[in-house]
A and B are shown apart, each in its own frame.
Chain A
Amino acid sequence: MEQEHQHITSYRTYATVLAVLLFLTALTVYVTWFDFEALTIVVAMSIACVKVIIVISYFMHVKHDKLVFKLMIGMVFLLILVIFLILFSDYLFR
């Protein structure tokens, strides 16, 4: 069985990624001082999603992994999304 080529990420990249994540954390705390009404949750969740994508692609180095991993991860998040949508077809229309 072939051993896959191992991608080595540099320390600098990780430090940069951390800086971005910390900035986004600060941003998400900052924006909650303003009241966007119903949009608050959307903004907070959007930032969280961006953070999650960054963590998965860099810290969990999926960016350099085989395609099959990307497909699986995408499928799982899509599934969770679809479950939410279907469930709320009940709760939003009661």
Chain B
Amino acid sequence: MENSISHTEHRDDTASKMGMWLFIFTELLLFGGLFIVYAVYRSIYPDDFHIAANQLNTFIGTINTVILLVSSMTVAMSVTALRTGNKSLTLKLLATTIFLAFLFLVNKYFEWGLKIEHHIYPGSELMLTLKRGELLFFGLYYFMTALHALHIIVGMIILLVIYFKIKSGRVTKDDNVLLENGGLYWHLVDLIWIFLFPLLYLIT
């Protein structure tokens, strides 16, 4: 440790990564709270949940799962590409990831649009006539997927920032912890979806 002053300048990648992981924990607990609510109401209204879940489009859900898994792989590969010094491949892989994230949101848009066309959205007249468990299921469906979509958007912005930082050479082969952390955040979005997908689409 040098004697000069500047306590902000020394770099500790493990610390940055640990910080990112701790942040991921808070996100997991945030969604954990929602999963608790889901589990409780599912245990109270099992039949209503089945009926309501039947109305979700499993096909779109599955497509979105595949999209997220592939994007997870591309972002993981981009770290490898950067560490082996292949900058142009890194950028391509990141661009692919961001594109896939966008595709996910487009799918989500159509899925939500379809539901809203059928007058199933929070606060609609039809919703209030549904059975209590169905109402709660759709409430949870919108709340959980909306919060998840918000994380996708945040993740896209983070990856976009990192993309330009790599392009301008501020994130490099030897100083790549930012990309790694961005990747970790993106995997978190994937992790949550891995649980959301069967709980919302597959319990019929």
Contacts and interface: CB of A to CB of B under 8 A. Distances in A.
B195 A52 contact: yes
Interface stretch (B73-81, B114-122, B130-138, B145-153): B73-81
Interface string A1-44: 10110101111001101100110010011001000000011001
B interface majority secondary structure: helix
A interface majority secondary structure? helix
A67 interface: no
Contacts of A21: 69
B57 interface: no
Given A1-B10, A4-B13, A40 B203 contact: yes
A78 interface: no
Contacts of A3: 13
B113 interface: no
Given A22-B66, A25-B69, A60-B187, A91 B43 contact: yes
B34 to A, nearest CB: 12
A91 to B, nearest CB: 6
B13 A8 contact: no
B106 interface: no
A65 B20 CA distance: 14
A8 B11 CA distance: 20
B37 to A, nearest CB: 10
Contacts, number: 107
Nearest to A51: B194
Interface string B72-90: 1100110010011000000
A8 B191 contact: no
Nearest to A72: B21
Interface string A40-84: 110011011001100110111100011011001100100010011
B39 interface: yes
B58 interface: yes
A68 B21 CA distance: 11
Interface of A: 1, 3-4, 6, 8-11, 14-15, 17-18, 21-22, 25, 28-29, 32, 40-41, 44-45, 47-48, 51-52, 55-56, 58-61, 65-66, 68-69, 72-73, 76, 80, 83-84, 87-88, 91-92
3 tightest Cβ-Cβ pairs between the two chains A and B? A44-B198, A18-B73, A59-B76
20 contacts: A1-B1, A1-B12, A6-B83, A8-B80, A9-B76, A17-B73, A22-B66, A25-B62, A28-B202, A29-B62, A45-B195, A48-B195, A55-B72, A55-B191, A56-B191, A58-B76, A66-B14, A80-B32, A84-B36, A87-B40
